[in-house]
Structure 1
Amino acid sequence: MALFLSLLLFFMIPSSQAQGPPSTGYYPSSKVASTGFDQGFKNRWGPQHQSVDQGSLTIWLDKSSGGSGFKSLDAYQSGYFGVAVKLHPGYTAGVITSYYLSNNEAHPGDHDEIDIEFLGTTPDKQYVLQTNVYMRGSGDGNIIGREMKFHLWFDPTQDFHNYAILWNPSEIIFFVVDVPIRRYPRKSDATFPLRPMWVYGSIWDASSWATEGGKYKADYSFQPFIGRYRDFKLGGCKEGGDASCSPPWGSPLGPSGLSSQQYASMEWVQKNYKVYDYCRDSGRDHTLTPEC
C-alpha cells in the first residue's frame, strides 16, 4: 500500500515539478568561500539560546526566551550573502527563522532591509519562504513591504540547503540552491536600498502574523523550535573598505542581470511555487510601489 501511495503521489505531480528546476548553468555559491560562524558573526541577542560547534550555529526558541539572533562583524555596501539552513520539522506555526540584511541599528526608525524569512507552519502544510525588500522603513507597521512568497520544491527540514541574497548597486537577487527565485532591479533610488547593511539571522515568535496572517500561533508544547545554520558566505564589499572592491556576480553575463538559463529556472520556480506577489495584490496601493 505504501508503495502504491508513493507512486500515486509521484504521478500526481506535474512532470515539470517532479524533475526540479531546469539547470541554471551558473552557481554563485561556488564563487564565495565558506566561513565559520565565529569568523564572520557574533551573537546579537539570546546568547543562552545559541551554540556553535565547529563553525556551525544552532539557535532556538522556547517559552523561556524570545529566541536568539546573530549579526555580522562588519557592515557591507554590496555582496553575496549565503548560508545553508536546516529548518525545524513538525508544528512550527508562528515561528520565523530568518537570514537578512539590515541597518536598523544604524538608522532606527528609518532603516533598510532585505529579507529571507521562513514562515513556520502546521504539519499538514509546507513552509513558506518570504522574500522582502524595503527601504526607509519606520518599523511601526507602516512599512511598505515588497513581499514575494514561495513554497519550496524540496523538504527544507530534512537537510541543509543553501539560501542567498546578492545585492549590488543595480539589483537584488534571491537564490535557493543557486536557483534565482526573484530578481529585484534598481529602477529608482527611492525604491532601492543603497546604504550599508549588516547581515543578521534569528529565530523568534511572530505569532501575530507569521502563519496565515496570525491564524495559527506558536504552540510551546512543541518547543524548542530550532534553526541550524552552516557554510556562511560573506562575499561582500565592506563599508569603508577598498574602493576597487566589486561584489561577486550573480550571472555569467557580468555584474548585472541573469542568463537565459537562469531566467528559465526563475520562471519555472515562479510558475510552480510562487504563492504571493505584492505587485499582483489588488488590495495594495500600488502608488506606493511604483516599480510594479
Structure 2
Amino acid sequence: MKMNDQFRISLSTTTVCLSLLLHLLAGGAAAALPRIVSFRNGFTQLFGSDTNLLRSDDDNSVRLHLDQYTGAGFRSSDLYNHGLFSARIKLPSDYTAGIVVAFYTSNGDVFEKTHDELDFEFLGNIKGKPWRFQTNLYGNGSTSRGREERYTLWFDPSKAYHRYTILWTSSKIIFYIDEVPIREILRTNEKGGDFPSKPMALYATIWDASNWATNGGKYKVNYKYAPFATEMTDLVLHGCISNPLQQLPTDNCVQMDQQLETIHYNNIVPKQRTAMKRFREKYMYYSYCYDTLRYPVPPPECVIDPVLRQRFKETGRPDFDRRHRRHSRKRSHGLSSQIYEIQDED
C-alpha cells in the first residue's frame, strides 16, 4: 500500500474529535462550549478598504482581497486568556506566488517587546505545485528563537473549505487541519518563559510577501492575476475574554482553561496520533529542531530523532541533493536563503 493511501485511510479514521466539534458548533451542546461567532459580534476590520474586506449577508463569512494597492485583515475585538480559535478557510486559486494568508493569534500591539504569537501562514503557490505553509510559535518576545515548521498540504486548499484550528491552553498548543492534529507543543520546563502566556487576539490577513514567501522570494506576486481572494467562514472564538494588562487570571479564566484542558477536542486519541505522525513524516519539510545552521545546539525543548536528523541534514529540511543537484546553492548566499529556498519536490 502506498504512503498516500495509508495516510488517507488514517485520516478517514480520525473523525471523532471533528464530529464532536462540529456538533458543538451547530449548537448541539451548552452555550459554554465552542460556537460560531458572527463578524459583528466578534471581530473588527484591521486594514484594507471596504472593497478588500467583504462580509456575507448572514455575517458568518468574510472574503479578504489583495490587489496592487493593499491587502486586507481583521482581528478579534477582544483578547483571550487561552482559547480555541478556528475557521473554515478557502485559499486563493491559480498563480498565488508571493502571497501570504495568515491565521494567527498575537498580542504584539500590546506587548511590543515581549509579545506572544501562534501562526498558521500559507506561503503562496505556483500553479500545479503543492501548497506550502508553516506553523510557528513565539513566546515572551522570543522572535530570535522562532520555532518554525514547514509542510506541504495533501489537498488543494483553493478548491474547497478546510477547517484550521489553534488550541491553546496553559499546558499545550495543538494545531489542527480538519480532524488531523499536525503539531503538538507541550509546556515544559525547558521552554521556560517562551511558552505563550499572555492574552492574545485572533488575526486573519492577506498580504504581499514577495521578498520571501515563495522559494525565498524567487517568485513574486503577479498582479495580472489580481485580485487574490481568500474566504473564511464559521469562525470560532472560545476562550476567556481578558484585560491584557491584568496581572493574574480571573476565576472565570481559570475555569475556562480547565474546560479547555478537559474538552474532547484537547485530547489526541491514538488514531489521531498515528495520523499526526504520518503527516509529519510525509509532509513536514522543515523543522527548526534540525536546523543546525541556525541552532548549532538545538533549543532545549527539542527531542532529536537520529533518523530525522539524517533526513533533514543541517538545514532542517530534507536532503534533496541526490534528486536536485541542479538546484544546489552556495552557502555564501546567506542564511535566510538556505532556510527559505525550498526546492520543489518531484
User: For this structure pair, what is the TM-score category when the shorter chain's length is used for normalisation?
Assistant: 0.7 to 0.9
**Does 2:281 align with 1:277?**
no
Q: Cα 1:118–1:207, aligned 2, differ >3 Å: closer, same or farther?
A: same
Give the drift of 1:14. Answer: 3.9
**Does 2:240 align with 1:233?**
no
Of the three residues 219, 240, 263, the one matched with 2:222 is 219
Greater fraction helix: 2
Q: Which moved more, 1:241-250 or 1:223-232?
A: 241-250
Letter paired with 1:178: E
> Distance between the aligned counterparts of 2:3 and 2:224, measured in 1?
34
> Distance between the aligned counterparts of 2:188 and 2:2, measured in 1?
41
Give the drift of 1:29. Answer: 3.2
Q: Cα 1:273–1:288, aligned 2, differ >3 Å: closer, same or farther?
A: closer
> Distance between the aligned counterparts of 2:269 and 2:8, measured in 1?
23
* Contact 1:42/1:72 (8 A) holds in 2: yes
Q: After the TM superposition, which residues 129-208 of structure 1 pair with which residues of structure 2 at under 5 Å, given as runs?
A: 129-137=133-141, 143-188=144-189, 189-208=192-211
1:73 maps to what in 2? 77
* Contact 2:132/2:150 (8 A) holds in 1: yes
> Distance between the aligned counterparts of 1:40 and 1:136, measured in 2?
26
1:103 maps to what in 2? 107
> Distance between the aligned counterparts of 1:283 and 1:261, measured in 2?
35
Structure 1: unaligned runs, 5 residues or longer: 1-10
- TM-score normalised to the size of structure 2? 0.74
**Does 2:5 align with 1:15?**
yes
Q: Percent identity?
A: 36
Structure 2: unaligned runs, 5 residues or longer: 25-33, 244-249, 303-346
Q: Cα 1:173–1:283, aligned 2, differ >3 Å: closer, same or farther?
A: same
Q: Cα 1:21–1:250, aligned 2, differ >3 Å: closer, same or farther?
A: farther
Letter paired with 2:163: N
* Contact 2:103/2:203 (8 A) holds in 1: yes
- TM-score normalised to the size of structure 1? 0.87
Letter paired with 1:82: S
Give the drift of 1:270. Answer: 0.9
> Distance between the aligned counterparts of 1:224 and 1:250, measured in 2?
43
Q: Deviations over 1:124-177 (max 9, x none)?
A: 311112100012337xxx532111112122211011110000000101100000
Letter paired with 1:204: W
Higher relative contact order (CA 8 A, sep 6+): 1
> Distance between the aligned counterparts of 2:101 and 2:147, measured in 1?
19
Q: Deviations over 1:53-94 (max 9, x none)?
A: 1221011111112x0110101100101100000011111111
Of the three residues 243, 256, 259, the one matched with 1:245 is 256
Aligned residues: 276
Give the drift of 1:20. Answer: 5.5
3-state SS, counterpart of residue 266 of structure 1: helix
Structure of larger gyration radius: 2
Give the drift of 1:251. Answer: 6.5
